[in-house]
Amino acid sequence: MPDARPPLVARGRSSYRLAVSQERPFPDVVEMVVEIPSGSRNKYEWDERAQVFRLDRVLSSAVYYNFDYGYIAGTRSGDGDQTDALLLIDEPTFPGCHVWARPIGGLEMRDDKGEDFKVLCVAVGDPHQKHLENLEQVEPHRLVEIQHFFDTYKLLEAKETDVLGWHDRERALEVLREDREAFAREHERARA
């Protein structure tokens, strides 16, 4: 039987698939890479050049990530990083865990680097979250907790963040399409 999987695309020394399947193409299903598990105060970041996870800092405020945090593989946002992603999941994963996820909305912010959009996702394989298709189905207090985290997590570091509000699934998919195109353009220039 022929291999019907999408082609691999190089990313540094590692590779990943651009889409889960022909039936569920990007951006309906994305590959999220977890950098920070839920419950952590350590802010880990993927170092693209060295191809390793690094401890960026420990949060100074008495807060912790109450969601898994990471990025969407194969994207490039306006701040030069890969598109930020939040994962609603009952049990924390681990740094480097690749998760097939469905975007259900997004949180718009601004920080010292400029506009910062974070895509809210649920894991494809999580039976407890599979009913969530959009923000309206998320418990409202959960969204308030996430927004409060981003309002306060940099306060003691003398860094400002402005949380501008939640956006629906369609806006999140639009951002992902734009950021995937930016990633593709970047890699075209690198090959030229």
Q: Which domain holds residue 131?
A: 8-191
pLDDT, greater one: 69 or 8: 69
- Here the CATH number for the domain that contains residue 176 is 3.90.80.10
**Residue 2 belongs to a domain:** no
Per-residue model confidence as pLDDT tens digits over 146-157: 999 999 999 898
**Residue 1 belongs to a domain:** no
**Residue 173 belongs to a domain:** yes
H or E segment and range at residue 169: helix 169-191
Per-residue model confidence as pLDDT tens digits over 80-125: 999 999 999 999 999 999 999 999 999 999 988 889 999 999 999 9
Which two structure tokens, joined as six digits, stand for 68?
């898994």
Which two structure tokens, joined as six digits, stand for 100?
């097939």
Question: Across the chain, what does the average pLDDT equal?
Answer: 89
pLDDT, greater one: 192 or 51: 51
**Residue 144 belongs to a domain:** yes
**Residue 186 belongs to a domain:** yes
**Residue 3 belongs to a domain:** no
**Least confident range of 8-17, 62-71, 174-183:** 8-17
CA distances from 90 to 39, 147, 166 (A): 11, 18, 21
Number of domains in the chain: 1
Question: For the whole model, what pTM was predicted?
Answer: 0.86
**Least confident range of 18-27, 36-45, 116-125, 135-144:** 18-27
pLDDT of residue 19: 40
Total residues belonging to the chain: 192
Q: Are 81 and 10 in contact (CB under 8 A)?
A: no
Burial level of 69, CB count in 10 A (0-12/13-18/19+)? buried
Q: Are 82 and 71 in contact (CB under 8 A)?
A: yes
Report, as an integer, the average pLDDT of 10-29.
56
**Residue 66 belongs to a domain:** yes
**Residue 129 belongs to a domain:** yes
